[in-house]
Chain A
Amino acid sequence: MTPTISVQQLSKTYEVPEREGGFSAAVRSFFKRKYKDVKAVQEVNFNIEQGEVVGFLGPNGAGKTTTLKMLSGLLHPTSGTANVLGFTPWELKNDYLRSMTLVMGQRNRLSWDIPAADSFLLNQAIYRIPDDEYKETYKELDELLELEPLMKKPVRNLSLGERMKCEIAVGLLHRPKVLFLDEPTIGLDITGQARIREFLQEYNKRTGATIILTSHYMADVTALCERIIIIHHGQLKYDGGINDLSKKIAPFKLIGVLMENADAHDLSQYGEPVENMEDADKKFIQVKADEVTRITSRLLADLPIRDITIADPPIEDVIEQAFNA
C-alpha cells in the first residue's frame, strides 16, 4: 500500500532582498536590490501512513510552516517531490483541495463582520457539499465542539478559543482525509488547548483522517502524536516514535532520590545534578542510560535513601538537546 503522504528530497530556497537602514541605502536598493538565498527546507524525506497523527517540531524559522505549505500546495518547492493522496499538492487540483484542509492558528478564514453560520454556508457552496452531507457533518462537529451557541454571533464577538473552534470546524466541513494544522492551539488558555486536543484525538479515531500538526505547546504533541518529526535549520533531525526519542537523541535517565537530611549529601559525584524539577522533595541527577544500574546500586549503598525513581527526562528537555546537537 502506498503511504498517504510521501516526501522525497523536498527543498525550498527563498530569495530574500537584503537592505540596510538609512536614506542612501534606501535609494540604492530602489535601483538595485541585493538578494540572499535562504534555505528554508533542505532535502527532507518522510512517509506518513493513513490515520497517523504526526507532530512537526522545531524552533521558529526551522522550516515547519514552509513544509506544511508545500504539502498543502501553497508553495512550490525548489526541488524534490511530494505526493499526498496520489496528488502532487502544488498542482492545486480541485479534487486534491477538496480532500485536504489547512488550518493556521494565526489566520482567519471566517469573516469578522458576520456570524460564522454564514461563512459555513459559503464554504458549503465553494466545496460543493451536498445539503444532507453538510447537515450530517455539521451535526457531528457540533457534537464534538459544541458549535451551536457560537454560530449566530458575529465572529468578532467570539473569544479566541470559540473562534478557533469555528475556524477548525469550517476547515473540516468537507470531510478532508488529510489535515494540516499549523499551531492550532496558539494563544489559547490551558482548557482551550485541551478541548481542541481532545477533539482532534476523537476526530482522528472516528474518521481515520491523517493529521500533521505543528505546535509550540509540547503538551499538544505528547498528547496527540505517537510519532514526531523534528526539523531544525531546514533539515530533518529526527523521525520516529515519541517514546524512542529520548533513547536516540539523549540516552539519559533521570534518577530521583528521597533522602533524610538531603542537603548534607552531594550528588554531583554520581551524575549531573538537575535543578527545578516538579517533585521538590527529591533530588535529581542525570546519568547515561547504560550506567543506570551501576549508579543506582552505588547510591543505595552509599546514602540513606528512602525512595528512588528512574525515569526518562522530560520531552521538552530532550528536544531542546536535539536542536542543539
Chain B
Amino acid sequence: MDSEDEMNYDEEEEDSQEEDSNDEDFVDIAMEPEPSTASDSRETEDFQYEVLTADKIVHVMVECIKEVNAVVQIPATITRILLNHFRWDKEKLMERYYDGDQDSLFSEAHVVSPYRKDPRQKRSTRGSTSASTSESMCEICCLVIPHTDMAGLECGHKFCFQCWTDYLTSKIINEGMGQTISCAAYGCDILVDDVTVMDLIKDAKVRLKYQHLITNSFVECNRLLRWCPAPDCGHVIKVKHYDVKPVRCTCGHTFCFACGENWHDPVKCIWLKRWIKKCDDDSETSNWIAANTKECPKCHVIIEKDGGCNHMVCKNQNCKADFCWVCLGPWEPHGSSWYNCNKFDEDEAKKARDSQEKSRCQLQRYLFYCNRYMNHMQSLKFENKLYQAVKLKMEEMQQHSMSWIEVQFLKVAVDVLCSCRQTLMYTYVFAFYLSKNNQSIIFEDNQKDLEHATEQLSEYLERDITSELLVDIKQKVQDKYRYCESRRKVLLDHVHEGYERDTWDYQDGL
C-alpha cells in the first residue's frame, strides 16, 4: 500500500494508459477498507435488507464504481465523481454517457474529459517543456519549488505538495467538504478526486474525516441506503428496493426506512412529518394559550387577563371593544353598577361565545390528539422500566416451581404492550389528519377497543402481578395480550385496506 502511495505523480500521468487496469487497486487503496466485520441479511415478510458497517459501505461504493467501469472504460476516479454527480444513480449516468454530449457531461460534473488530449496537460513536470528550468513558483506559497515536488489535476494548475496538503486539510476539516473540493486555482472548478486527496494527505485524522465525508455523501445520496438514526450507531441499512417498511439495525433500533423516524404504522411518513413539525412548533405555546387566554369577541385578538375587573376593553387600537370576560358579550347591558355577570342567556353573549368556540375548536381538537399522543409516548417510556420489574418477577416465579419456558409469557406481554402503545400513539396522528366518514368511525372504534385492552394489559402487568395467584395471572395475561395483538392487527389491517381502496379522506390545512 505504502509503496503505491509514494508513487510519483509524474509517473502516474505518464502511465495513464496503464492506469485503467490499475484503477481498482487505486480505489481500494484510497478508501482503505478494513475487512468487513458484520453484515446481516434480514427479512421481514418479503422486505429484504442488510445491515452494513461503515467499512462495508466502502465496499458497496467500490462495487458500484466497478460495475459502471466495466461498461464505460474510464478511470475510476472520474467514475466516482460522475456517479456522485448523478447521486449514485448508475442507470442515469449510463444513459447520459451514451446518449448525449459527453464533453458537456464531463464539464457539468466538473472533471476534465479523459479523452481530451490537450498538450498543455501532458506537459511533463520533469522539465521537458522548458529545459532551462526544472522548478517554478507555487502560486499559493510563492516559493520556487522543484517540479518534482509539485502536483496538480488534469486542469494543469500545479501547486507544491505542502500547499495542496494545507488547502485540502482546510477544506476537509474547516469546511467539511468531501467530494466537492475543487482545484485551488481561481475560477477553476475541476474537482479533486479521492486518489489525489489520499496521496496528498498523510495526517490520519484528516484522512479519516475525508473518508467519513465521502461515505456520508454516498449514503445520503443513495435511495437504497440509510444511516441508522440511533445515537452513536454507525450502521447503514441497505435495502433491495425502496419501500416504507420497518427495519431493525444490529444496535436494536427499529425505524421506518423511508423517513428514519421510529416505526409509525399506521400513519404515513408525510403526515407524521407534519405532525412532528406542528408539535415542535407550537404544542407548548398552544397549551399556554388555551389555559390562560380568551379571544376578543370582535377582532379575535388573543387576550390575557391581567387584572380583576371583568369589564374588558380590547387594547387593539382598531377595535377597542368593551366586553365581559365571563360571558364574552358586550359590556353595555351589564351596566356600570355590577361587577358580576349574570347575562348568561342573552343572545348576543351566546353568539359571541359561539364564534369563540368555533375558533377555539381547532385548537381544542389539536390538543385532544396531542395529549393522547404524548400520553402514549410517555407511557411507552415507562414501560421500559416494566421490563426490569417483570424480570424480577420471572425469577421469583421460577423459584416457585415454574420452568423458564413457562414464565416467558411475561416478557412477551410487555413486548406486546409496547408495540400496542406505539401503534396507538401513531393512530392519534393518523386520526388528527382524518376527515370523518364511515370508515373513520370504524377506525375510531378499533382504536377505542385496542386502547381499552392495552390499558387493561398495562394494569395487569403493573399492579395485579404482585397480588394475585401466579397461575391465575398467567391465564389472564396471556388471554389479554393475545387479544391486544389481534386487535392491533385488525386496526392496522383496516387502515392498510383503506389506503389500498383509497377510502380515507384527509383534512387539509391543519
Answer whether A and B are interacting partners: no
